[in-house]
């Protein structure tokens, strides 16, 4: 099963152009892309009023560890570092909602392939300064999984996914 994780970075445009098929997990207010699931990690007060409104308008499967969002699927997070063993029932977290969505896709939804779109990190107002750490965590996590970036313009050090392969 292929699952596409949809972020809000510039390479989401490549997803909209490619129009790949498969299950989708959006992050934060990526509700405009009609994902099958939506992952929210931050507290509601981290979002502007219009972003909160967009998230509250979502009618699919909302996944969060924050009860304030009234999630359909309540998860427990565990920080991820290279070589760490996962604790039973937890989802790995490494700075971003997209990392949580990626682990959820493999661990809970049974994905054999996950493709990241709009998960660019570079230029993000908060995460940009953590790019090297986030990049290395995605690369290490994906070393024995089918984890790809969907766009050649994405700066993450992951292999490029080729549609229909």
**Residue closest to 137 by CA, chosen among 73, 57, 78, 81:** 81
pLDDT at 164: 66
Q: Over the stretch 40-49, which tens digit does the pLDDT of each residue have? A: 999 999 999 9
pLDDT at 143: 74
Residues 6+ apart with CB under 8 A from 78: 84, 86, 87, 90, 91, 92, 93
Residue 165 predicted with pLDDT over 70: no
pTM over 0.75, yes/no: yes
The full set of domain ranges for the chain reads: 2-149
**In 80-155, which ranges are E strands?**
90-93, 113-117, 146-149
Q: Over the stretch 72-130, which tens digit does the pLDDT of each residue have? A: 999 999 888 777 788 888 888 878 899 899 999 998 999 999 999 998 887 777 776 77
Give the pLDDT band of residue 6 (cuts 50, 70, 90): very high
């Amino acid at each position: 099963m292929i699952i596409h994780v949809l972020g809000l970075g510039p390479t989401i445009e490549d997803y909209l152009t490619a129009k790949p098929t498969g299950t989708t997990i959006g992050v934060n207010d990526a509700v405009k892309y009609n994902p099958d699931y939506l992952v929210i990690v931050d507290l509601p007060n981290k979002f502007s009023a219009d972003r909160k409104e967009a998230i509250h308008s979502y009618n699919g499967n909302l996944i969060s560890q924050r009860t304030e969002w009234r999630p359909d699927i309540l998860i427990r997070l565990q920080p991820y570092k290279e070589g760490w063993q996962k604790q039973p029932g937890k989802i790995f977290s490494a700075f971003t909602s997209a990392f949580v969505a990626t682990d959820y896709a493999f661990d809970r939804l049974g994905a054999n392939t996950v493709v990241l779109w709009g998960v660019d990190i570079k230029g993000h107002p908060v995460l940009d300064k953590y790019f090297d750490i986030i990049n290395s965590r995605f690369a290490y996590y994906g070393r024995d999984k089918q984890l790809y970036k969907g766009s050649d313009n994405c700066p993450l050090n992951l292999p490029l996914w080729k549609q229909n392969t």
